[in-house]
Structures are given as C-alpha cells and as structure tokens.
Structure 1
Amino acid sequence: MRAFNKRMGFWFSAGVAIILALSGCGGAASNSAPTADTTAASPVQTPPGGESANQGSTSSPVTIENNGRTLAFAEAPKRAVSLSQHTTEIMLALGLADKMVGTAYLDDQILPELQEAYAKIPVLSKQYPSKEVLLSVEPDFVYAGWKSAYTDKAVGTVEDLEKMGVQAYLQQSSNMTAPGLEDVYADIEKIGRIFRVEPRANELIERMKNEIGQITDRLKDVGQPIPVFVYDNGEDKPYTAANNYMTKLIALAGGKNIFDDIPKGWTSVSWEEVVARKPEVIVVVDYGDKTVEQKRNLLLTKKELAELPAIKNNRLIVLPLSAASEGVRAPIALKTLAEGLYPEKF
C-alpha cells in the first residue's frame, strides 16, 4: 500500500459509514470535477468576503519551523501550488484560492463547498507534476502532504526548490509518528500565519473543534472500546494502520485499533495475527487499484477470517483516503467512524 504516498483517484461520499453492505465505492490546464453529495456536517464554510484572501496585508516577516527546517517569509506567497488533496482543501478552506496557480494529486472528490473555488485553479498533473511543469507556473510556494513530493522523481528536493526561489512546506502532521488533531490544527495555524490569514485559520480550527466535540459528546457512555482492524490493502499479507492518525481517530470514535501497539505508522501483518486479535469491526480504506467491492469480497471470502466477529456480523466501515488524511475532513472522518461503531448513537 501505502497508503498515503500512493495516491489513486476514487469517488467520495463524505461522512457516510457503510455498515453491513459495501459498494464500490489533472496535466490539465483547467479543472472541472463534479459535485458530490454529503450527509456529514462539515467544518468548511465560505470565508467572509468570498474567496479573496486579502485579509492579511501585513508586511511583517513570518518565520515558521517545519520538519526541522526554518522557513522565513518576508511577505505572504502570491503564487502557491498544492501537491495533495488534503493540503489543497486546507488552502481552499482558508480562502486562498486567489493565491493558487496550480494543484495536483486529487485522491477523490473535492468537498462540495470548496468545489467552485477549486474549479478555477489549474490542475498541473493527476499525480505529482514534474519539476518542469511545476516551474512553468512560476510558483513562489509549494505545499505538499507527503515527503514523496519532494524528491527528484517528483517536483524536486526542498533544497533545489529553494535555490530557485520556491519555498516548500511539508504537512508536518502527515509526516510524524502518531499525529493527533492538535498536530493538524498546528499545520492549519502555520499556513494561516504564512499567508497572513490567522483569524481565518483560527476560525476554521474552532469550527473543527466544535464539530468534533458534538460527535464525541454522543460517545461519552459507550464503555469498552470496540476492537477495530484497519484494512488498507494486500492479499497474502494485509497492510494496516498501526500507531498513526487513523488510530487516534478510531480511539476518539470509541474504538481501539488492534495493532496500535506497533511503533510504526503503517505496517504489514499476517492474517493469523488479525484472527488472533479478534476485531469486531473492520475499517476499509477506500483508494487504490482495488475497489471497495473487491476489498469487501476478499475479506468476506477469506476462509481464515470466517469466524471473526467483524466478518460474521458483516461490520465493515468504508473510510475514503481523503477523510483519513490529516486535513479539514477530521470531523467527517470521525463521524463516519463513530456512526459505524455506534449507529444507535446517531
């Protein structure tokens, strides 16, 4: 898998936990993705005054610590490029569309409330653009979710980009051990500072916290956490979440990742280990070459899994990769998990 460094397109129905039945689920110069329906509450709203991010006009220098590097911004970037869906959505949720000259690597459907702004931004590539394509739009700032973006096989190293006058920010919460919601908020706050839209960033963070609080309030009396297995991919050996962001979301939703004792973000395990830990619910990560229906069939027809409580009771929750990434969809992801684990509470 992995998961989060291999991105493939897939459709998203935001905020819907699918239990007992699963279904399968730009180099372009323009952007025209269709709109998806959503039943989950979203923390993202159109910023006051529309898309314009002119709220921060201060010329005071800003210094940011980012993954062991110090980035200094004499002024807010004017020509930004986002290189992953969750970083794109953070930019758009902060009303920064008019500061963006390109985007890339869409996992699935952009949040409906951000679609209009997104459609106006050029899609440079379905996956990572080449360095040449990136530089063709003359960016002064690039914002990636995953380390894989900043390699010679993608847009180039951060050192190479800086030599060409391009500041490179890497989503810290997506590239650390066991990140939590506070780490996601810290990234949003830093982007707000860089673009001089701190009030807007603070407002977004507060909305996310309020949405999450409303969900967790319903789970106060759920008792013993439900054992959960995260299935990402793999036939001979499953690839699963260990001690990572999804594990934190599962815990908030009243569950317990059965492999949270492994000191890695993602890891391969054996099916025998899965059986031994007796998960009562399986979270299926929706992305990649295999459809949800294919993943469902694999799990439901594997003989060694037949006696698992999750399989016997057909308790499978679909979580799109975009919701499982460290971004503005945290309330949507949490609600999806909580509804799947405790449907009686919603």
Structure 2
Amino acid sequence: MRIGIRGWLMGGITTLWCSLAAAGSAPAHTSWPLVIDNCGHQVTLDRPPERVVTLGQHETELFLALGLDDRMAGTGVWFGPLPERLAARGRDIPRLSDNAPSLEAVAARRPDFVAAQYTYHLGPHGEVATRHQFEELGIATWVSPSDCIGKQVTDTSNSDGARVRPFTMAQILLEIRQLARIFDVPARGEALGRALEERIRKARQQAASLPEKAPLKVVYWFSSPRLQGDAWVAGNMGAPAWINRELHLENVIDSTQEWPTVSWERIAAADPDIIVLADMERRLYPADDIAQKLAFLRADPVTRELRAVRNNHVVIVPAQSLNPSLRMVDALERISQALPDIAPAS
C-alpha cells in the first residue's frame, strides 16, 4: 500500500446514482492495481481484500448489504442490533467489542483491510490506532468519506472535526461505489445504490403529498450528558439536516455543530411540532435509554408542556439512523410515515 496526502475536501459531489448507469451499460469490473483517494490517503490494492475488520456499525452494515459477510473477520463499535434484513448475514461475525477494540484485538483477527466509520477511531490520534500503525502491519485502511468530505479534521486532537458543509446522501453513495470497486462487486454496489434512491424517492413523495403549510418544526434528541441537563440535539449540518431537507421540515436548532448541547428552555421557546428520539443499546449516559427519555419528557415541568409531548408527536428511530449511514433511510421512512398524523389538516 502507498500513501500520499492530497486535498480531501472533495466539493461538488452531487451526481445521483441513477446517472451512473444512464448509458445502460453493465458496471465494469475492477482493474488491478487499484488506487483510490480516501480522506487524504491514497490506498493502493493489488487484489480485493480477503479479511476485513469493521469499526463502526455503518461500515458493518454496508459490508453486509454488499454481500461481503464472507470477508468479515470481526467488528467493533455498536449502537444497537442489526436491521432485520441484515441480521442473518451478520449473526456469526465476531464482535470484538461493543465500543472501540484495541489495536491488538483487531490485529489478532489477521485482517488485510480495516474500515472505520469515524476518523475518531482511525485518525491521527485514533482511539483504536492510527492508519500508519495498521499500515506498518501491512493492513490497508479505510475511513467513511462521510466523515471527512466537507469536514475540518485536525491533526492535533482526537476530535471528529467540524462539518463545514452540510452532509448529503451523495457521500454514502460515493462510499458504496468505491467499496464495490475495491471488492470487485460492481453489480451489487449498483443494486444497493438504486434501492436506496427508490426508498428515498417514496419517502419524499409521501411528504410532498401532505397539504402545503408552513414547514413542521422538529428537534432530534440523541442523548444527554445528564438526564436533567442540556440535551445533545441535531444541528443543521449532519444526517438529521439531510432528512429535514428531504421532508421539508424545519429544525428549531440553528447551529452549525452536528450535535450541540442545548437547554430544554431554549427548545421549549421554539416549541417543536415533532420530537425525534434516538433509541440505542449503548448505555454510556442515562439518556441513552429510550424509556428514560420518554419518562423525562412526560414528567419534567418544562418538557411536558411542549406541544409535541402533549400531542404525542414523538417519533422513535434507531440511533444509527441519525448518523451518516445506510440507516438514515430508515429514519427518513419512519418520519415520513408519521407526518400524515402530525401535519395539520388543510
């Protein structure tokens, strides 16, 4: 593997998946060696990887969706269970850790390719290791383009970095295309991309069928450092912002941070029509528990007076579906299906 540094802010990624097959030709198989720029690194491969460890549930689910479970030697970093459509494929894949596994635990699986959802786990100060550490062991590395395109990632901290341009689904489609090339499964990549775009089209159509009114106001509550304290809610740059654009919803939190901490008094002043809650198996904080989230909303003297709480306009989605991932389409569908019961009649 050879590594080189190039500018990685790959602007202008707006090509939709369907345009890739406009000529009607079959997707081409990979020519070797293959060189792909990935988040500022040039990854050079002489053949498709044979043993993969994934760090992050998005990467795990993406490999399963591409039918690459026979290449998966281990996984780490989980928020919750696999979706039903992928559960059988992923049942026997070793889970190294629910959180971040060690470098030694990953290397013990003898991978030739490690794919991470977040720079946090595989960046300059990676919680698992740096890309250089893996590459010294002869292991190729990969970071999801959704965690570097349009973001400023610093070499001086282990921060995920700040998003400077709004996330778009094009970044996930780009990753599907690139991994399909790396593993020489172009037809599977094309089929997955088309299926996602069809689901997005139907959810968008559902929202467009509602009476034309002012956009419904929404807040997305992921978790909180303290249940009684400020909440981690979605800003205007991450995956929930993409959902809002697709469904013509208005975020009550105007922030360029992906998940700012915001007081419930500030949320109450905006009085959203909809509250979207993240459901997860992780238990780092009390508010990770969906039951505690719901109990708090109904009991706290501020939150129980929110219009969305009084009207029970609360939508629960998997936490992973609020991260840049394939699962965003699950959240898009769930929210779009709830809108007819929430939107005021014409």
* Aligned twin of 1:230: 220
SS at match of 1:303: coil
1:157 and 2:145 equivalent? Answer: no
Unaligned runs of 5+ in 2: 1-26, 152-162
Write the deviation string for residues 290-346 of structure 1: whole angstroms up to 9, x where unpaired.
32121011112221234321122121111111222322223321111112233489x
Per the TM alignment, residue 215 of structure 1 is displaced from its structure 2 partner at its CA by 1.7
Write the deviation string for residues 17-41 of structure 1: whole angstroms up to 9, x where unpaired.
xxxxxxxxxxxxxxxxxxxxxxxxx
Higher RCO (CA 8 Å, separation ≥ 6 residues): 1
Distance 1:101 1:57, change over 3 A: farther
Unaligned runs of 5+ in 1: 1-54
Structure 1 runs of 4+ aligned residues shifted over 4 Å read 55-59
Q: Distance in 2 between matches of 1:71 and 1:193?
A: 12
Per the TM alignment, residue 280 of structure 1 is displaced from its structure 2 partner at its CA by 1.0
Write the deviation string for residues 99-130 of structure 1: whole angstroms up to 9, x where unpaired.
11111223211122322221232222222221
Give the aligned CA root-mean-square deviation in angstroms: 2.1
Match 1:79 to one of 31, 51, 60: 51
Q: How much identity, in percent, do the aligned residues show?
A: 27
Match 1:279 to one of 257, 272, 275: 272
Give the conservation status (yes or no) of the 8 Å contact 1:280–1:310: yes
Q: Distance in 2 between matches of 1:306 and 1:118?
A: 40
1:148 and 2:126 equivalent? Answer: no
1:262 and 2:260 equivalent? Answer: no
Per the TM alignment, residue 57 of structure 1 is displaced from its structure 2 partner at its CA by 7.2
What is the letter of the counterpart of residue 273 of structure 1?
R
Give the conservation status (yes or no) of the 8 Å contact 1:226–1:341: no
What is the letter of the counterpart of residue 110 of structure 2?
E
Per the TM alignment, residue 253 of structure 1 is displaced from its structure 2 partner at its CA by 2.6
Distance 1:316 1:246, change over 3 A: same
1:249 and 2:249 equivalent? Answer: no
Per the TM alignment, residue 227 of structure 1 is displaced from its structure 2 partner at its CA by 0.3
Per the TM alignment, residue 153 of structure 1 is displaced from its structure 2 partner at its CA by 6.8
Q: Distance in 1 between matches of 2:332 and 2:341?
A: 13
What is the letter of the counterpart of residue 263 of structure 1?
T
Per the TM alignment, residue 67 of structure 1 is displaced from its structure 2 partner at its CA by 1.6
Give the conservation status (yes or no) of the 8 Å contact 1:281–1:316: yes
* Aligned twin of 2:302: 304
Write the deviation string for residues 62-91 of structure 1: whole angstroms up to 9, x where unpaired.
222222222122221111111111111100
Q: Distance in 2 between matches of 1:232 and 1:93?
A: 25
* Aligned twin of 2:145: 172
What is the letter of the counterpart of residue 150 of structure 1?
L
What is the letter of the counterpart of residue 168 of structure 1?
T
Map 1:184-223 to 2 at 5 A: 184-222=172-210, 223=212
* Aligned twin of 2:334: 336
Aligned residues: 290
Distance 1:59 1:183, change over 3 A: closer
SS at match of 1:296: helix
* Aligned twin of 2:81: 109
Give the conservation status (yes or no) of the 8 Å contact 2:206–2:337: no
Q: Distance in 2 between matches of 1:125 and 1:293?
A: 24
Distance 1:305 1:126, change over 3 A: closer
Per the TM alignment, residue 59 of structure 1 is displaced from its structure 2 partner at its CA by 5.0
Q: TM-score, normalised by structure 1?
A: 0.78
What is the letter of the counterpart of residue 68 of structure 1?
G
Distance 1:64 1:310, change over 3 A: same
